Amino acid sequence: MSTFPELYTDHESRLIALTSEGGLGAAAVEKVNSTITDTKSIAYAMIDPTLRDVREDPLFIELSSRAKISEPVRLPVRHKNVDERLVPILIPIDVSVASHSLLLRYFFGIGAEDWATDSLNEGLGHRFCGVFISNASIESIAHHFAKQSILNDPRGGKSWIRWFDPAVTDRFWPRLNSGQQSKMLATCTYWVGLGRLCAIACRTNPDSNSNADDLVLDATQWALLDNLSIINTEIVEHEARTSTKVSSEQRGWYEDLVMRAYAMKISEPSDIRTLLRFALRYHPAVDTHMRVAQRLATRARTQTVNQCLAAFSDTDWEEICGELNR
């Protein structure tokens, strides 16, 4: 399979599909335009080269050459587990210039490609992380975002947080309080990107004049971050297996399950996967049923969740589901 899926028969048809007047990209650019309320504000597109570098896409090469964009700026991330060549890059976009606007349509177009089911199932990742609106310099924004990507981990040391990844953002941003959202965005007034189902997501900074202190997360937020990859994988596999779609609201139910699990001292990835599979099969709040909760609360330290719940028969699960659905 090629690095960039051949969704269209040739280069020209793909260009038209990604940048057409009536397409998603055009609507997204309109949204970006609406967030620029003064002459000092600039749009900064963020791309993520971790799994696929969009700068190798022939369409990007063509469109960026037309636009004559300024030199991109890499987030100056310093962490032992992070390859500096694979951190996000900011690109300044002047939406009043037609060639820049076309490039921005392209970015939102590939964002939609990356949310496609086939792309998610193959784990191809997200190349485009959205557009940030700010009147600050690109260097200061890159420095701030780099700082907010390396957070003090309550378990010790510092952890690399990929909060900018659309698969993380889509679930993580709503779990932040307004103060945390402001610390994350600092001088950026808006963050426009794509959520699941390719919905245009315009995230507003509650206070772009707040200080830029380090972002601090609570225990439940860390639990969610630790397990978002597991949650996403289990849901994608469940959708493929059952030919059903899990809604955004339903995803929230499974995230709540994981955070309840952490409160019960259940944090091993294999145990989290097991709980999610039971929840996806039977009921999203399966852990709250009295019989299940009691077994989980009294399980031996060396016992896995799967071993703990193996005592329930199919008849037991039918009864448990029936009671939860009343």
- The helix/strand/coil state of 124 is coil
The dihedral over CA atoms of 183, 185, 186, 189, expressed in degrees to the nearest 10, equals -130
Is the pLDDT reported for residue 4 higher than 80? no
The pLDDT of residue 10 is 65
Is the pLDDT reported for residue 9 higher than 70? no
Q: How far apart are CA 201 and CA 243, in angstroms?
A: 26
- Give the amino acid at 230: I
Look-up: residue for tokens 């939860």? Answer: 324
The dihedral over CA atoms of 59, 63, 66, 71, expressed in degrees to the nearest 10, equals -110
H or E segment and range at residue 49: none
- The helix/strand/coil state of 193 is strand
Q: How far apart are CA 57 and CA 61, in angstroms?
A: 6
Spatial CA neighbour of 193 closest among 273, 127, 276: 127
* pLDDT 10s digits, 106-139: 999 999 999 988 888 888 899 999 999 999 999 9
Half-sphere exposure of 279 (CA within 13 A, CB side): 27
Q: How far apart are CA 158 and CA 155, in angstroms?
A: 9
% the chain with pLDDT above 70: 95
Confidence of residue 14 (pLDDT cuts 50, 70, 90): confident
Confidence of residue 162 (pLDDT cuts 50, 70, 90): very high
Is the pLDDT reported for residue 8 higher than 80? no
Q: How far apart are CA 278 and CA 259, in angstroms?
A: 15
Is the pLDDT reported for residue 56 higher than 50? yes
- The helix/strand/coil state of 89 is strand
Q: How far apart are CA 16 and CA 106, in angstroms?
A: 10
Structure tokens at 297: 């609360």
The pLDDT of residue 200 is 93
DSSP string, 285-315: TGGGSHHHHHHHHH--TT--HHHHHTT--HH
Lowest mean pLDDT among 14-18, 177-181, 205-209: 14-18
- Top pLDDT among 212 and 177 is at 177
Q: How far apart are CA 299 and CA 320, in angstroms?
A: 19
Identify whether the C-beta of residue 270 lies closer than 8 Å to the C-beta of residue 304.
yes
Q: How far apart are CA 279 and CA 277, in angstroms?
A: 5
* pLDDT 10s digits, 80-113: 889 988 899 999 999 999 999 999 999 999 999 9
Structure tokens at 159: 């952890």
